[in-house]
Structure 1
C-alpha cells in the first residue's frame, strides 16, 4: 500500500468522535480548559485566558499546513473536551507525528485519550498506510511521557535545547515512536485497556 497524506476526516468510536477542528468548537473548548494552567503547562503556546485568545490558538492550528487538528467530542455529553493533531506528515517517508494534544481535566485518566489514540493510530497505520508514528514532548512533562509509553510507543532519545518555551526558557524534547509492525500488539493492549475501563493520562505537549 502506498501511503497517503491525511486529510480532514471524522473518526468515531464508542466514547469519542474526532472531527476537524473549527471555530465552532471554541466555546466548548474554553469551558473545558480555558485559563487552566495545569492543562496548558506544557503546550508550546501562551496560556489562553480568554475565549478570544483560545480562538486565536485554534486558528493558528487550522491555518498551519503541517498540521491537521481534530476536536475531541465526548459522546456522553456531545461537547468538545480537547484537541489532538497530526503533524509533519510525509507520504513519501510514510510517517507522521501525533501531538498538540490536550484535554480538560474532568476527562483525564478516562477512556477519552485511550480511544482518541486508538482512532488516530488505526487511521494512520490502517487507512493512510503510514509506517511510523512519533510523539514529542517536554522532558519535564513526565505525565505525558508515561501516557505515551502506555500507548506502546518506544523511547528513541532526547534532543537537548530543542525548543523555546513560551516563557523564554529552553526545553529538551523527548522522542517516542511506534512502527507499523508494532501496531497490532499495541492495538490489542489498548483495546483491552479500553474494554476494562482503564484510560491513559490526559496528554499535553
Structure 2
C-alpha cells in the first residue's frame, strides 16, 4: 500500500498517463457487422422497420424515450441524436444485408478520468441474441481500450432490467452496486445498477471475445459451441496456472 509522508494511504501512481481523446471514428468494422456513426439519411428507415418487429414495444420499456409509432417521430429523434457528441451514437449494421438493426452509444465521456460509458443500447428483435450483437459490443470495447486508451468502461442500467444486467455480466462487466433513486424515467422511479470493465481486465476479455467470435466456435446452423462466459473463465484459469 502506498502512503504519503503523513502516513496516509494513497493511490498508486498511474505511469505514463495521458488523457485519451474523445471518440471520433466514424466506422468500426468486424467480421459480421460494422458500426457507423448514426446518420438519419442512411439509418433511420432501416432502424424503424427493424424496431417495428417489437410487437409490444418491449425494447423501449427501460429507455427514457420511445416508442415511436410513426417514422416521422423516429426520424426526428435520429436527427437529434446524430448531432450529439455525448452521447455519440452508432448504428449497428449487418454486413450480410447492409441493414441497420440497432443502436448503441458512448456517453458520459470523461477523458480527464479515463472513463467512458456504453449506453442507449437498443437492439431490435432481429439483432438480439445474435453473434452480431456480441461483436458490436466487442468492437466498441476494443476501440475504447486499444485505440483510445481509456482506463474504465462503464455500463449502467435500470436495476429492474434483468436482461441488461445479464448482458453486462456475460460481456465481462463487474457489478459494482446499485445507486438508489437516481432518476425519474417516464414518471417512474429509477434505481441504477453500475457495472465496469477496467483496462487491466481487457486482455482477458479480448482473448475471450476472439475465441468466441472465431468461426470454429459455431456449428453449421450458427449455434455457439462454447459460451463467452466459459471462454472467459478458462482464460482466467490459464493465466493463473
Instruction: State whether TM-score is above 0.5.
Output: yes
For residues 75 and 25 of structure 2, the distance between their equivalents in structure 1, rounded to whole angstroms, comes to 19
Residue 177 (structure 1) aligns with? 196
TM-fit CA distance, 1:8: 3.8
Residue 20 (structure 1) aligns with? 37
TM-fit CA distance, 1:35: 7.5
In terms of mean alpha carbon deviation, does 14-23 or 188-197 score higher?
188-197
How many residue pairs end up in the alignment? 199
For residues 207 and 87 of structure 2, the distance between their equivalents in structure 1, rounded to whole angstroms, comes to 28
TM-fit CA distance, 1:156: 0.8
User: Secondary structure at the residue paired with 1:17?
Assistant: strand
For residues 80 and 181 of structure 2, the distance between their equivalents in structure 1, rounded to whole angstroms, comes to 24
1:51-90 paired onto structure 2 within 5 Å: 51-90=71-110
For residues 82 and 183 of structure 2, the distance between their equivalents in structure 1, rounded to whole angstroms, comes to 21
TM-fit CA distance, 1:137: 0.4
Of structures 1 and 2, the one scoring higher in RCO (CA 8 A, sep 6+) is 1
User: Secondary structure at the residue paired with 2:112?
Assistant: coil
For residues 35 and 178 of structure 2, the distance between their equivalents in structure 1, rounded to whole angstroms, comes to 30
Q: Does 1:190 align with 2:209?
A: yes
Task: Map Cα deviations across residues 122-175 of structure 1 (whole Å, 9 max, x no partner).
Answer: 110011110000011011110111011011110011111112112x01111111
In terms of mean alpha carbon deviation, does 57-66 or 79-88 score higher?
57-66
1:79-158 paired onto structure 2 within 5 Å: 79-158=99-178
For residues 180 and 18 of structure 1, the distance between their equivalents in structure 2, rounded to whole angstroms, comes to 22
For residues 139 and 116 of structure 2, the distance between their equivalents in structure 1, rounded to whole angstroms, comes to 14
User: Secondary structure at the residue paired with 2:200?
Assistant: helix
For residues 90 and 140 of structure 1, the distance between their equivalents in structure 2, rounded to whole angstroms, comes to 27
Gaps of 5+ in 1: 201-205
Larger Rg: 2
RMSD across aligned C-alpha pairs, in angstroms? 1.6
Asked if 1 retains the 8 angstrom alpha-carbon contact of 2:53 and 2:124, the reply is: no
Q: Does 1:162 align with 2:173?
A: no
TM-score, normalization by structure 2: 0.78
Gaps of 5+ in 2: 1-16, 219-223, 229-241
Asked if 2 retains the 8 angstrom alpha-carbon contact of 1:135 and 1:176, the reply is: yes
In terms of mean alpha carbon deviation, does 1-10 or 111-120 score higher?
1-10
